[in-house]
């Protein structure tokens, strides 16, 4: 499923893409989003910005347990984010596209993705979503939903289709 959130301007609706922001968490769908981003960037001016937000994960220690090593967790989160943008950079290189990168530190990735895309003058954000495929729930994951709802930059979301039964339609008069 592909979702494109773009604003419509009066007149011909031609969008020239000079710089594509690819947000990645290292998942398979994020790699597919990077490949799509590289294709779109190559068709335009050939520039990408890879973003992976370094997200440290902390938990409260049990009573009497040692306090977690925060420095080690920050380092782990940053190294994971660097590995994710390195994957995007290799995809961009293979497509003949230049690629800058950013690995900001935050526990909430959505605002950082939007901020970097806007600061870098990106024309499109491409990202994967792990959102549920249940009609009773939202169509996108929380990060993708945040970016889609709050970005002034058009957003292209890629999602892996899940196995689902086809909807049953009644007879039309």
Tell me: pLDDT of 63 over 80: no
Tokens of 135: 């009609």
Confidence of residue 57 (pLDDT cuts 50, 70, 90): confident
Cross-strand pairs, 48: 20, 99
| For the chain, percent of residues with pLDDT exceeding 90 | 62
Q: What is the pLDDT of residue 136?
A: 36
- At 115, phi and psi to the nearest 5? -60, -50
Question: CA 123 to CA 154: how far, in whole Å?
Answer: 7
Q: What is the pLDDT of residue 78?
A: 96
Cross-strand pairs, 164: none
Tokens of 25: 């968490």
Question: CA 7 to CA 122: how far, in whole Å?
Answer: 15
Q: What is the pLDDT of residue 68?
A: 67
Question: CA 155 to CA 140: how far, in whole Å?
Answer: 12
Confidence of residue 69 (pLDDT cuts 50, 70, 90): confident
Question: CA 105 to CA 24: how far, in whole Å?
Answer: 14
Q: What is the pLDDT of residue 5?
A: 46
* pLDDT, tens only, 81-112: 999 999 999 999 999 999 999 999 999 999 99
* pLDDT, tens only, 11-56: 455 668 899 999 999 999 999 999 999 999 999 989 999 999 999 9
Confidence of residue 80 (pLDDT cuts 50, 70, 90): very high
Tell me: pLDDT of 2 over 70: no
Question: CA 46 to CA 156: how far, in whole Å?
Answer: 17
Task: Calculate the CA 86 to chain-centre distance.
Answer: 15
Per-residue b or e along 84-111, where b marks 16 or more CB atoms closer than 10 Å to that residue's CB: bbbbbbebbeebebebbbbbbeeeebbe
Give mean pLDDT, residues 112-117: 98
Distances (CA, A) of 73 to 22, 52, 58, 140: 25, 16, 8, 28
Mean pLDDT of the chain: 83
């Amino acid at each position: 499923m592909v979702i494109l959130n773009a604003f419509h301007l009066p007149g011909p609706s031609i969008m020239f893409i000079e710089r594509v922001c690819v947000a990645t968490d290292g998942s398979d769908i994020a790699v597919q989003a990077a490949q799509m981003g590289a294709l779109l960037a190559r068709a335009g001016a050939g520039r990408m910005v890879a973003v992976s937000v370094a997200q440290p994960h902390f938990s409260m220690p049990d009573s009497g347990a040692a306090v977690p090593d925060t420095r080690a967790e920050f380092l782990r989160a940053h190294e994971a984010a660097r590995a994710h943008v390195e994957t995007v950079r290799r995809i961009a290189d293979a497509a003949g596209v230049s690629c800058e990168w950013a690995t900001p530190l935050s526990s909430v990735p959505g605002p950082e993705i939007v901020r970097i895309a806007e600061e870098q003058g990106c024309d499109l954000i491409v990202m994967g979503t792990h959102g549920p495929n249940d009609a009773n729930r939202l169509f996108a994951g929380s990060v993708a939903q945040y970016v889609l709802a709050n970005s002034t930059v058009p957003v292209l979301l890629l999602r892996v289709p899940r196995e689902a039964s086809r909807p049953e339609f009644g007879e039309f008069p």
